[in-house]
Copies of this chain bind each other. A is one copy, B any other.
Amino acid sequence: MSAPLFFEDFREGDVVEYGDVTVSSQDIIAFAEKFDPQPFHLDDEAAKPVSGGLIASGWHGAALMLRVNCDAFLLRAALVESTKADPLSVEEISWIRPIRPGDRLRVRRTVLAARHTDQAGEVEFLFELVNQHGLVATRQRSALGILRRDAGAR
């Protein structure tokens, strides 16, 4: 595991891209069978008149984006322990374009704002799940509490 990431590693205005996930029909259908069995997430033929073919559940896109974020930085971030169920609060989630079989997805992360007190900081991120055409499929704004690098020494 690489070195932990602290508040100082996220600067307002920073934009980075990472991840490379290809989504298969099987992935889309497996998620839908478990969580979202609407016909346009299950069957390409049934989906044609509705959405021009099979498309992924919106929550599948959100979950894929989370996985890419975990691998890229979230597992290494010195998160502030929260009394909430999850340290990552979601301010907005929007489905802009469908995710279709064969799509290759990456995440573009923008630091919208970064504020801190003595020990901890809050970073407001924009995450965009971008497809192989450079178009945004899913968009999420989230704030994350992250420790300052020298918090332990204070």
Oligomeric state, in copies: 2
Give per-residue flags for A76-106: 1 if the beta carbon is below 8 A from chain B beta carbons, else 0: 0000010011101110011111110000000
8 nearest A-B pairs in the assembled complex, by CB-CB distance: A85-B95, A35-B63, A58-B86, A85-B98, A59-B63, A35-B67, A86-B95, A36-B66
Contact check, B57 vs A66: say whether CB atoms are below 8 A apart: yes
- Helix, strand, loop or mixed for chain A's interface? mixed
Most buried by B among A85, A94, A98: A85
Q: A90-B93, A93-B90, A93-B93 are in contact. Are A63 and B85 (CB under 8 A)?
A: no
Q: Complex: how many Å from CA A95 to CA B136?
A: 25
Q: Complex: how many Å from CA A93 to CA B75?
A: 22
State the A residues within 8 Å of B (CB): 34-38, 50-51, 55, 57-59, 61-64, 66-67, 70, 74-75, 81, 84-86, 88-90, 93-99, 137-138
Contact check, B99 vs A50: say whether CB atoms are below 8 A apart: no
In the assembled complex, the CB of A68 is this many whole angstroms from the nearest CB of chain B, namely 10
Given contacts A38-B74, A85-B96, 20 further A-B contacts (CB under 8 A): A35-B64, A35-B66, A36-B67, A36-B70, A37-B70, A37-B75, A38-B70, A38-B75, A51-B85, A57-B63, A57-B86, A58-B90, A59-B62, A62-B62, A84-B96, A85-B95, A85-B97, A85-B99, A85-B138, A90-B93
